[in-house]
Structure 1
Amino acid sequence: MPAETARRVELAITGMTCASCANRVERKLNKLDGVTASVNYATERASVEFPAGTAVADLVSAVETAGYGASPQRPEEDRAGELGERVAIAAALGAPVVVLSMVPAWQFPGWQWFALALASTVVWVCGWPFHRAAAVNARHGASTMDTLVSMGVIVSYLWSLYALVFGEAGALGMRHEFSLVPRPSTTGDIYLEVAVGVTVFLLLGRWLEARSKRRAGAALRAMLELGAKDVAVVEDGVETRVPISRLRSGQRFVIRPGERIATDGLVVDGSSAVDRSLVTGESVPVEVEPGDQVVGGTVNAGGRLVVEATRVGRDTQLARMARLVERAQSGKAEVQRLADRISAVFVPVVLGVAVLTLAGWLLAGRPLEFAVTAAVAVLVIACPCALGLATPTALLVGTGRGAQLGILVKGPEVLESTRRVDTVVLDKTGTVTTGRLDLVEVLPAAGVTRAELLTVAGAVELGSEHPIAAAVVRGARAEVPVLPEVTGFVNREGLGVTAVLDGRRVTAGRPSLVALPESLDELAAQERRKGRTVVAVAVDDEPLGLLSVTDAVKPTSAQAVRELRALGLRPVLLTGDHQVVAEAVAAEVGIDEVIAGVLPAEKVDVVRRLQAEGRVVAMVGDGVNDAPALATADLGLAMGTGADVAIEAGDLTLVRGDLRVAADAIRLARRTLRTIKGNLFWAFAYNVMGLPLAALGLLNPMLAGAAMAFSSVFVVTNSLRLRGFHPSTT
């Protein structure tokens, strides 16, 4: 589908009760011309890409013809609340039925008719969602997990009704013995406790599942609720409180201590500490001052700030983060597609197994009621609800936890890539280093103090806009807040600057501009061997000392490299800088393999060369020139502090500029994938072990219902363990 004609919409789907329902809706949507849809049962959403000639109403209509509801907005209904009410009523009415059926001593004359009245309400009122879903699917010639549940419950109920009306079970004074396994008997046996028990247990399982799914999506909901509702806009010096929807890019607004920052912007007045923990996962507030960027949704923890809005609405970092997380949660990993294919044929196969079980026991000479009970147990135990929940719930929790920690997963297919990666290519500037030149060494000449050297150098460099000059000025101001004024400033292109300070000529620039004594000359050579840029300072041609400037390595980069190695990854430093500079940085952080002097366009070639050597490559970068390499790599990790194009090209976005988050991202992705595979194993194992037991007549249908409900709850609970993932960056 051409990109310019493609449209995308998120549909909230109602009426789905199992993963088979989601598969049915997905198939119905994908039959439309040019439509590509992915339906996620855990989030109850359909992510649909469709051509411009198709209307959203056509998509909604397709879903409705399949027997479900659809809306472009998320419904406000509380599914867990409705299921909770059904569970409470079913349990209250069903408990006497189960107790009376299991305890002969409590079976008073006519108890079975009392149990029938209670069971009828449980089966047909409380259990109506199962039967309605089964009927809808049957009308369309399809079968789902609800088909198995509904058939099991109805067969148990109708058999009991038959035994009560036409058999011996309706006689007053009848005693009913309970057994953990179906037992050969006469038409004096009824299975109302099976119909009730299965309904209660499955409703309980669905309720716990709905609650767990809501907890699983809590991280995304919290992110969506971070935005401010109104903002104090400043116009002509007057503050006016307006709804956030009226804020426009370029407008200035005020943020007082304790308030949430309304949108992305640039601080123009004031200084404060900003708590960014809910957006980036940083545990320590960050100091901001005029010229610094702030992110909407963060909290002003200190003084009053005046901020100029740079991004509003859907363009803010918070909104983009939420879209990335939702896109990841609505997609499907390859392992989920396998599970979908299996569950699509599983229900018809189980129906066949149930029929064979019924026929087999009848041919073996067992009573009809025994054969029916065994077939019902097959229908109930085989429901692959856990299989349908295994992937989406783990993905929901894992991506939500990642969002809390400043790790955004672009799509579920990324999880597979993190498992296979064995080499990680690290861009140097802005990734391993700060991406900004900083003053790292102050080397005064004999008889000159550090303060004197910084005062003179800062004063003369103040008039230059060169990055090296800016680094010198920042370093000088950190120790000498007030710098003296100079006159006669001259910029000598490519060499340095000169000016007059207190009647004396000051020079700052390349060491070749100044006649350095042997001691300072040796120090300059040492700094150059470290890959640093040296600035010589002189007054009236008398050397005052040296300043060493470099793109400093981030304090956490060395630890990040160690953590990447611990994950079995081989780090490679990639840079366009000189070999000497690159090797100095690599030695500082512990990287052995260095590829230097690479032009931006050649970074893709480096990634392809490594892939040709049989390596599975992850690329970490932040600049515009990194975007092609990020897209080419098997796994692209974009630093969120970098360019938008790099973020769009990456598979994982690291909201913070801390390289340790890259290791955390890979660890979280791998753990999420392990959880998905563990869920799938137990879901499969449950069905594989349970089906033979049921078919052999070794399992009471009520226990089968309890076990099936437990399996779904187990899978969701196991996924929720991902909420306890702890990063190394705190």
Structure 2
Amino acid sequence: MTRTLQLDIPVVLPEVLDASDACVGRLFADLEGREGVEKAHVISGNDAAEAKLCIHYDPDILPLSRIREIVQAAGAAITKRFAHLLWKVDGIGHQRRARTVADGLRTLPGVLEADADAAGLVRVEFDRRQGSEQAILDALAEMGVSLEKSAAAHQKATKDARTDHDHDTHDHSHAHGGLLGPNTELIFSLVCGALLVGGFGIDKLSALAPDWLPTALYVGAYFFGGFYTLREAFDNLRMRKFEIDTLMLVAAAGAATLGAWAEGALLLFLFSLGHALEHYAMGRARQAIDALAKLAPRTATVRRDGETREVPVEDLVVGDLVVIRPNERLATDGFLVRGTSSIDQAPVTGESIPVDKRPVEDPAAARAQPNSVDADSCVFAGTINGAGAIEVEVTRLSSESALAKVVQLVSEAETQKSPTQRFTNKFERIFVPCVLALAVGLLFAPLLIDEPFADSFYRAMAVLVAASPCALAIATPSAVLSGVARAARGGVLIKGGAPLENLGSLSAIAFDKTGTLTEGRPRITDIVPAQGVSEEELLSVAVAVEQLSDHPLAAAIVRDGREKLAGRKISEAHELKSLTGRGVTAMLDATPVWIGNADMFGMHGVAPLDKSVADAVARLGEAGRTIMAVRHGGRDLGVIGLMDTPRPAARATLQRLRSLGITRMIMISGDNHTVAKAIAVDVGLDEAWGDLMPEDKVAAIRKLRNEGPVAMVGDGVNDAPAMANATVGIAMGAAGSDLALETADVALMADDLRHLPFAVGLSRHTRAIIRQNVFISLGVVALLVPATIFGLGIGPAVALHEGSTLIVVFNALRLLAWRDRD
């Protein structure tokens, strides 16, 4: 008989967080080759947001303890062999440079995959048997790329014990730095322009100057204008690549060969100026993301052993008490234990109005379950305290705070390509060889027409310049980077170009009900004890069991039940088990307790409800209540009815989404269909599908997805399988949930539904910018290629070509200033 074992991916493969990572496939290949292992695959668990490894094995051949050992040993071997690096570097200022660096790293021994982006992020996966981190760092240094100072210092401080290399920081004289600082390329370009103007002026206006002077000035212009382009072209040629930089140098050299020094200098001036301004513009987008990391203070005032002292935030540990003075920035994530204040959470969640915060009622309970602490008591690093002094207990290390995770995830998102970017990359791989073939063909024009070879050569050089897909290469990444940065600043985390584009293509959105369209804070509205049972007994049993659960309905029963019991002592239950979609069971006074909806009873070995209790369930269900039936041992104690109220902003949010072009909105809920329908009508939804188990939600999403792109909006935990199957998974209130941050494609940091139209509107605007950029890029190429074939010179061609590149970049940067009109 086959059995299954499910394990969290980060437990087996500590460096791997993504189920699609190549190391997961390597693990499967290792396991499936062993006797007793039938199959290994990835699944999304119903009760956990993260994907899990599922291993099917024969217990007669491999007992459970042995299969665990095998899986863990295989995972350890893969982790030891394959390394994943994500570095922030200096020396990459534009997309073409990023592609050159990535291609260069892929040629190194042992490097399995490498990617880089214009914002300075490098991601590498390599085999430690064949390569090393130091070899990669050395290769980057040869290409003029180095770790940022802070990253290099961290790299040296946290040196991997498995290597014998010392990761020293490298010289920061690189492609966009140098002796004159980060603007060296721009200065060189301007010097090139000045020499060009000087040479042209002397050549045309001064008869007294020696004949060699204009040429000397043009040669100087060649040096300053071609300095960085030559280095880039050399790197490409070493990798047997013939790209834009090489094309420009060939064209400039050809112009010089023909004696057209002025036109060649003009080409290099405009090209180098375009590079420098592109670098500056992309830096603007990068700074918008880097600014997030600087929100949290470097030190914190902590109370230890009765004394108050100031310590670096890196030294804070979970359980520390941090003192926050009025108007200070918070240095940590945690919950309030003393004082009240209003906190500006805009830097993390995007909320425009300060949020009132109060201490937790039970610090011990909050300490035991920090993820279940009420939002009114939770605080985040990087937010700004108001007028009250408060004390916060630390729940996350500085490297694990919501702000730190956002910075990390946004940085990683920059290296993930969007569908349009993948298309343009494929297009370039086909288009560039075609352009080269055309240029070579034009060199043989004198064989067909009566034309000097010099004219044909000049025309071929002009076509190379005109047809280079320079603007196309930057069209999509510049827009994606700006869009992701703008979203993060608005409290929305979008994990890469694909979710950003997909979000803008939606025509349908499915919503979870509890905690998404409703407040997620239901109240007890009805208490119906069974015959011979007191209301006090019914509530006492329910509270004893539900206080072990962190479900919103359980929290409501505990909160309102304690209030109604007026301080009466509650017995302690234990061995709580969740029956997904039905309820919970636990032991109380050595007797089992079942609490759940009507589907929990009468199946899976649980006896049906008594007729009187079943009638009460039906009556409350028709009234739109959420019903919790309670059984203790063999006695049905009665029914508790709860009601959740819609969020005040729900109706206005849905109307705003309709105005943005979302034509279909559906609620999919595990609650009674009548309850779901009542809430749906109240908030203005088209449809409501109730009584859905988690697997039913997945089936519903798949059905909707077959009809077109669909998003699933939920809390990021219970709805994880449905979110994973949607075109875009969107998590609410992600600032307080690690799982939501890790699993959603799009995370609304605030528990505020009004941020959803902002995200959709930004995505639609980003898609429009990307389409404009691609149209401009291809349009200019389509115009210039025939124009140069029929006689347009290199000078006008390069002016229009580089002008289109700048238009594309600055068009993308408009996203940084985008505002939601509503």
Q: Does the 8 Å contact 2:505/2:764 carry over to 1?
A: no
Aligned with residue 149 of structure 1, among 248, 266, 285: 248
Deviations along 1:652-689, one digit per CA (max 9) or x if unpaired, are 11111112322322222232223222212211111121
CA shift for structure 1 position 723 = 1.6
Q: Does 1:90 align with 2:210?
A: no
CA shift for structure 1 position 22 = 3.7
The residue number in structure 2 matching 1:497 is none
Secondary structure of the 2:644 match is: strand
Aligned with residue 515 of structure 2, among 420, 430, 436: 430
Deviations along 1:421-461, one digit per CA (max 9) or x if unpaired, are 333111111111111125899xxxxxxxxxxxxxxxxxxx9
Within 5 Å, give how 1:335-350 maps onto structure 2: 335-350=420-435
Within 5 Å, give how 1:397-416 maps onto structure 2: 397-416=482-501
Q: Does the 8 Å contact 1:143/1:348 carry over to 2?
A: no
Q: Does 1:719 align with 2:812?
A: yes
Within 5 Å, give how 1:626-665 maps onto structure 2: 626-639=719-732, 640=734, 643-665=737-759
Q: Does the 8 Å contact 1:439/1:475 carry over to 2?
A: no
Within 5 Å, give how 1:545-694 maps onto structure 2: 550-566=643-659, 567-611=661-705, 614-639=707-732, 640=734, 643-694=737-788
The residue number in structure 2 matching 1:283 is 352
- Counterpart residue identity of residue 435, structure 1: G
- Counterpart residue identity of residue 119, structure 2: T
Q: Does the 8 Å contact 1:660/1:728 carry over to 2?
A: no
Q: Does the 8 Å contact 2:716/2:730 carry over to 1?
A: no
What CA distance in whole angstroms lies between the structure 2 residues aligned with 1:586 and 1:282? 26
Aligned with residue 267 of structure 2, among 195, 198, 223: 198
CA shift for structure 1 position 313 = 2.5
In the alignment, structure 1 segments of 5+ residues that lack a partner are 161-190, 442-460, 477-484, 495-524, 535-546
The residue number in structure 2 matching 1:121 is 220
- Counterpart residue identity of residue 223, structure 1: L
CA shift for structure 1 position 600 = 3.5
The residue number in structure 1 matching 2:232 is 133
Change (3 A) 1:295 1:475: farther
Q: TM-score, normalised by structure 1?
A: 0.78
What CA distance in whole angstroms lies between the structure 2 residues aligned with 1:487 and 1:114? 97
What CA distance in whole angstroms lies between the structure 2 residues aligned with 1:343 and 1:646? 37
- Counterpart residue identity of residue 742, structure 2: E
Q: Does 1:332 align with 2:420?
A: no
What CA distance in whole angstroms lies between the structure 1 residues aligned with 2:730 and 2:567? 48
What CA distance in whole angstroms lies between the structure 2 residues aligned with 1:602 and 1:389? 43
Change (3 A) 1:550 1:423: same
Higher RCO structure, 1 or 2 (CA under 8 Å, sep 6+): 1
Q: Which moved more, 1:365-374 or 1:283-292?
A: 365-374
- Counterpart residue identity of residue 195, structure 1: G
The residue number in structure 1 matching 2:611 is none
What CA distance in whole angstroms lies between the structure 1 residues aligned with 2:93 and 2:751? 42
The residue number in structure 2 matching 1:502 is none
Secondary structure of the 1:267 match is: strand
Q: Which moved more, 1:70-79 or 1:553-562?
A: 70-79
CA shift for structure 1 position 8 = 2.1
Secondary structure of the 2:750 match is: coil
Q: From the CA coordinates, give the structure whose radius of gyration is larger.
A: 1
The residue number in structure 2 matching 1:256 is 325
The residue number in structure 1 matching 2:167 is none
What CA distance in whole angstroms lies between the structure 2 residues aligned with 1:489 and 1:69? 66
What CA distance in whole angstroms lies between the structure 2 residues aligned with 1:564 and 1:704? 44
Q: Does the 8 Å contact 2:712/2:726 carry over to 1?
A: yes
CA shift for structure 1 position 395 = 0.8
Change (3 A) 1:382 1:615: closer
What CA distance in whole angstroms lies between the structure 1 residues aligned with 2:449 and 2:525? 88
The residue number in structure 2 matching 1:708 is 801
The residue number in structure 2 matching 1:42 is 118
Change (3 A) 1:8 1:677: farther
Aligned with residue 222 of structure 1, among 276, 291, 296: 291
The residue number in structure 2 matching 1:57 is 134
What CA distance in whole angstroms lies between the structure 1 residues aligned with 2:243 and 2:697? 50
Deviations along 1:396-444, one digit per CA (max 9) or x if unpaired, are 1000001011111122222343354333111111111111125899xxx
Q: Does the 8 Å contact 1:261/1:295 carry over to 2?
A: yes
CA shift for structure 1 position 487 = 7.8
- Counterpart residue identity of residue 689, structure 2: I
Deviations along 1:54-79, one digit per CA (max 9) or x if unpaired, are 422343456578x5645484886664
Q: Does the 8 Å contact 1:564/1:570 carry over to 2?
A: no
What CA distance in whole angstroms lies between the structure 1 residues aligned with 2:463 and 2:483? 34
The residue number in structure 2 matching 1:384 is 469
Secondary structure of the 1:223 match is: helix
What CA distance in whole angstroms lies between the structure 1 residues aligned with 2:330 and 2:93? 40
CA shift for structure 1 position 592 = 3.0
What CA distance in whole angstroms lies between the structure 2 residues aligned with 1:672 and 1:629? 26
CA shift for structure 1 position 378 = 2.1
- Counterpart residue identity of residue 654, structure 2: V
Q: Does the 8 Å contact 1:531/1:582 carry over to 2?
A: no
Q: Does the 8 Å contact 2:462/2:797 carry over to 1?
A: yes
Secondary structure of the 2:303 match is: strand
Q: Does the 8 Å contact 1:354/1:695 carry over to 2?
A: no
In the alignment, structure 2 segments of 5+ residues that lack a partner are 1-21, 25-74, 153-169, 361-376, 527-541, 548-553, 574-582, 584-618, 629-639
Deviations along 1:101-124, one digit per CA (max 9) or x if unpaired, are 5xx4x1414454211111111102
What CA distance in whole angstroms lies between the structure 1 residues aligned with 2:819 and 2:90? 35
Q: Does 1:353 align with 2:438?
A: yes
What CA distance in whole angstroms lies between the structure 2 residues aligned with 1:728 and 1:300? 29
CA shift for structure 1 position 580 = 2.8
CA shift for structure 1 position 709 = 1.8
Q: Does the 8 Å contact 1:471/1:549 carry over to 2?
A: no
CA shift for structure 1 position 629 = 1.2
Q: Does the 8 Å contact 2:465/2:798 carry over to 1?
A: yes
What CA distance in whole angstroms lies between the structure 2 residues aligned with 1:468 and 1:130? 66
What CA distance in whole angstroms lies between the structure 2 residues aligned with 1:213 and 1:678? 18
CA shift for structure 1 position 84 = 2.0
What CA distance in whole angstroms lies between the structure 2 residues aligned with 1:340 and 1:425? 33
Q: Does the 8 Å contact 2:93/2:283 carry over to 1?
A: no
CA shift for structure 1 position 265 = 0.6
Secondary structure of the 2:231 match is: helix
What CA distance in whole angstroms lies between the structure 2 residues aligned with 1:17 and 1:25? 11
Secondary structure of the 1:577 match is: coil
What CA distance in whole angstroms lies between the structure 2 residues aligned with 1:109 and 1:368? 34
Q: TM-score, normalised by structure 2?
A: 0.69
What CA distance in whole angstroms lies between the structure 1 residues aligned with 2:387 and 2:93? 49
Change (3 A) 1:212 1:437: same
Deviations along 1:578-611, one digit per CA (max 9) or x if unpaired, are 2232222111101131111223343223323434
Q: Does the 8 Å contact 2:94/2:278 carry over to 1?
A: no
What CA distance in whole angstroms lies between the structure 1 residues aligned with 2:804 and 2:623? 63
CA shift for structure 1 position 648 = 2.3
Within 5 Å, give how 1:447-486 maps onto structure 2: 467-468=555-556
